[in-house]
Amino acid sequence: KQEVTQIPAALSVPEGENLVLNCSFTDSAIYNLQWFRQDPGKGLTSLLLIQSSQREQTSGRLNASLDKSSGRSTLYIAASQPGDSATYLCASRMDSSYKLIFGSGTRLLVRP
Amino acid sequence: NAGVTQTPKFQVLKTGQSMTLQCAQDMNHEYMSWYRQDPGMGLRLIHYSVGAGITDQGEVPNGYNVSRSTTEDFPLRLLSAAPSQTSVYFCATWGQGGRHGYFGPGTRLTVT
């Protein structure tokens, strides 16, 4: 059974710092890996999705990588801003069925 | 285009009461699902539907019922609420071949 883990649970950084959020998974036979952002009291917003055949995806200041052999994905945020403060969740899909297996998230605070 | 809407936003129930959480989408998406999010844990799949008239169980289906009579609506019924069902509930949808998915804003349920 796939298990997805995110460490640390919380992270506080000063504005402008580059940072990396980690996501690990136990079953490397994933269909894809997705990163979401969740703001307090809100739903989830999809940030990046990496198919199993891909190594990374980029969107603006965000870059997500995938290493299936080691069971790891990272979300790199460049030049962090206070507006990046949110909880970041990763989720794996094991097939085309849209059933996601989530990590517990990393709560990020970017201090001005 | 409202996307995914959920009602109510907040609800307090007493143990043993029943209620229905509503989820509606106006994107003509075939796939709809319900997740619950508990503190310190990732989202867990309760039930999902691949189209009108078709539903199936997710990871934590006990105590919940669903039906899908139309493409637009996917209500989640709590048959006899228990304190263990205190959680935030999210509805999510995907179009056929869609990659990212759309999440509703959530319903925060407290069972006393």
- The minimum CA-CA distance between A103 and chain B, rounded to whole Å, is 5
- Are B33 and A9 a contacting pair at CB < 8 A? no
- Residue pair B66/B22 in contact (Cβ under 8 Å)? The answer is no
For chain B, where are the E strands, in sequence order?
A: 4-7, 10-13, 19-25, 31-37, 43-51, 54-57, 64-66, 76-78, 87-94, 102-103, 107-111
- Residue A44 has its nearest CB partner, among B44, B90, B94, at B90
Q: Bridge-partner residues for B20, per DSSP?
A: B77
- Are A99 and B33 a contacting pair at CB < 8 A? yes
What's the pLDDT score for residue B19? 96
- The minimum CA-CA distance between B66 and chain A, rounded to whole Å, is 16
What's the pLDDT score for residue A96? 82
Question: Above 70 in pLDDT, residue A22?
Answer: yes
Q: Bridge-partner residues for B90, per DSSP?
A: B35
Question: Above 90 in pLDDT, residue A14?
Answer: yes
- Are A91 and B42 a contacting pair at CB < 8 A? yes
- List the pLDDT tens digit at each of the 112 positions of chain B: 669 999 999 999 999 999 999 999 999 999 999 999 998 888 999 999 999 999 999 999 999 999 999 999 999 999 999 999 999 999 999 987 777 789 999 999 999 9
Nearest residue to B33 via CA among B102, B84, B96? B102
What's the pLDDT score for residue B69? 96
Which of A37, A44, A46, A59 to substitute to test the interface with B, most B CBs within 10 Å?
A44
**Tokens standing for B50?**
């691949």
Task: Give A14: exposed, middle or buried? Use CB within 10 Å, 0-12, 13-18, 19+.
Answer: exposed
Residues A43, B111, B65: CA angle, nearest 5 degrees: 70
- Are B42 and A34 a contacting pair at CB < 8 A? no
Task: Give A111: exposed, middle or buried? Use CB within 10 Å, 0-12, 13-18, 19+.
Answer: exposed
- Are B43 and A89 a contacting pair at CB < 8 A? yes
What is the tens place of the pLDDT at every residue in A50-106?
999 999 999 999 999 999 999 999 999 999 999 999 999 999 999 888 899 999 999
What's the pLDDT score for residue A41? 84
- The helix/strand/coil state of A68 is coil
Nearest CA in chain A to B5: A43
For range A7-26, the mean pLDDT: 96
- Are B101 and A46 a contacting pair at CB < 8 A? yes
For range A1-18, the mean pLDDT: 95
Handedness of CA A65, A70, A72, A74 (dihedral sign): negative
- The helix/strand/coil state of A83 is helix
Nearest CA in chain A to B37: A104
